[in-house]
Amino acid sequence: MTTILIRGARILGGAPSDILLRDGAVAETGDLGGAKADQTVDADGLVALPGLVDLHTHLREPGREDAETVETGTQAAARGGYTAVHAMANTSPVADTAGVVEQVWRLGQEYGHCDVQPVGAVTSGLEGRQLAELGAMADSAARVRVFSDDGKCVSDAVLMRRALEYVKAFDGVVAQHAQEPRLTEGAQLNEGEVSARLGLTGWPAVAEEAIIARDCLLAAHVGSRLHVCHVSTAGSVEIIRWAKSKGWDVTAEVTPHHLLLTDSCAERSPLGPYNPIYKVNPPLRTAEDVRALREALADGTIDCVATDHAPHPVEDKETEWAAAAMGMIGLETALSVVQEAMVETGLLDWAGVADRMSARPARIGRLAGHGRPIEPGAPANITLYDPSVRQPVDPAAMASKSRNTPYEGLTLPGRVVATFLRGRPTVLEGKLV
Ligand SMILES: [Zn+2]
């Protein structure tokens, strides 16, 4: 198959247009009435977006293949409209050497559902004691540019400074999981009224904000690039806004769940109180935080949406709150949640969604082949999305190996109909190819 003709797609929500894909690239757009192709895809009423890019995915391989594998995680990504995901380093063994990142990268290439760009650990074994082999990972076949101890915070200011200095040599970025460890010992839920009523140890906003403020100052001091993972509080937004106003090279992401859900889910939800499906790190915050995060994503203070897709097997989630693992899956619902939180509220149009879920994350991760506008000459990484349907979320229908979605039973808008990776369909009619 060398040519595919997509008929009548609304590129970024605009007027209907045909899109001809040839040899992995966009060949032509516009009214291509008489054009012929090996395959034609009817996209009447569908929105065409550049293939989505995730800066924050946990694929769990190597080490926790009972939760997810590169194969199932990238299938979930393709089903969610993604053509590239960044695989976090907190695997077992940790992705802290050229060998491990190349292994993960090669598995992504072999399966071919979407590009897998490994993230390298900042410190050896995520132990926060000495820097990992950052240069070797950058020079490897995986060409690592994003480094993160995600799951853990690089809390030592000297190590953080050294990492920021080191990655400048290869245009890398340090992606920080901002969590002051001493302030969050035993933390279970956002520190506030709900945690007090439920008797759960609080995770205070200041534990995130203090690290973000410190890291913005450090990044400015050494002239390096900082990315802030999963921003969750209104105060964090203020700090990032301030750092950007100074011209510092700071970027940030927000997760879909922090754009939609609040800590009150732990108290009352269709799934009952104390349901650990809502246990996540950083925790769900307040309605006021949600409002600030949405506004920050709309005005560009927060650059992008990143899923923090965190699969866990049933036995690690369906237990009492205090013992349950933190995290939720998100690849297959991200676009629907963003439509619900940002598009249907009038905060973003489809061009804005493409910018926040494709162009900007690709730029932050330095993925040259992704996040490009749908125009002749660009790699044919495209998602076709039907925003007009509403359907209940069904975990059993998901491609992910895990089922820990907080949206079970919730009705969300939209459906990914097709995904193309360099002109090859990975999803057609909502199903994996
Ligand atoms: Zn994290």
Give the tens place of pLDDT for each residue, 5-42: 999 999 999 999 999 999 999 999 999 998 999 999 99
Query: Mean pLDDT for the chain?
Result: 97
Q: Say how many Å lie between the CA of residue 151 and the centre of ligand 1.
A: 4
pLDDT of residue 1: 60
Catalytic annotation, residues = 308
Q: Residue 226 Cα, ligand 1 centroid: separation in angstroms?
A: 15
Ligand 1 center to 110 CA (angstroms): 27
Q: For residue 271, is pLDDT > 90? A: no
User: Which pLDDT tens digit goes with each residue over 151-176?
Assistant: 999 999 999 999 999 999 999 999 99
Cα-to-centroid distance, 213 and ligand 1 (Å): 17
pTM of the model: 0.98
In angstroms, what is the span from residue 22 Cα to ligand 1's centroid?
Answer: 39
CA 197 vs CA 225, 272, 315, 354, 406: distances in Å:
40, 15, 27, 40, 21
Q: Which of 50, 108, 45 is nearest to 383 (CA)?
A: 50
CA distance 227 to 212: 10
| Position 273 confidence tier, pLDDT thresholds 50, 70, 90 | confident
> Token pair for residue 75?
């299938």
What is the biggest distance separating any 2 CA atoms in the chain, rounded to whole angstroms? 67
Residue closest to 82 by CA, chosen among 290, 330, 366: 330
Residues 36-49: what's their mean pLDDT? Answer: 97
- Asked whether 209 and 233 are in contact (CB, 8 A), the reply is yes
- Which residues, in sequence order, are CB contacts of 147 under 8 Å at separation 6+? 89, 119, 120, 121, 122, 132, 134, 137, 163, 167, 172, 173, 174, 175
Q: Could you tell me the pLDDT band of residue 328, with boundaries at 50, 70 and 90? A: very high
The C-alpha atoms of residue 51 and residue 17 are separated, in whole angstroms, by 17
* Alpha carbon distances (Å) from 186 to 51, 154, 190: 39, 18, 12
**How many CB atoms neighbour CB 410 within 10 A?**
18
Q: Averaged over 247-276, what is the pLDDT? A: 94
175 C-alpha to ligand 1 centroid (Å): 9
Count how many Cα atoms sit within 13 Å of the Cα of residue 413 in the half-sphere of its side chain: 12
Instruction: Give the model confidence (pLDDT) of 208-255 as tens digits.
Output: 999 999 999 999 999 999 999 999 999 999 999 999 999 999 999 999
The CA angle 176-277-429, to the nearest 5 degrees, is 85
Per-residue pLDDT reduced to its tens digit, 366-384:
999 999 999 999 999 999 9
pLDDT over threshold 90, residue 343: yes
Report helix angle 98-111 to 70-79, nearest 10.
50
Crossing angle between the packed helical segments 157-167 and 205-222, to the nearest 10 degrees: 50
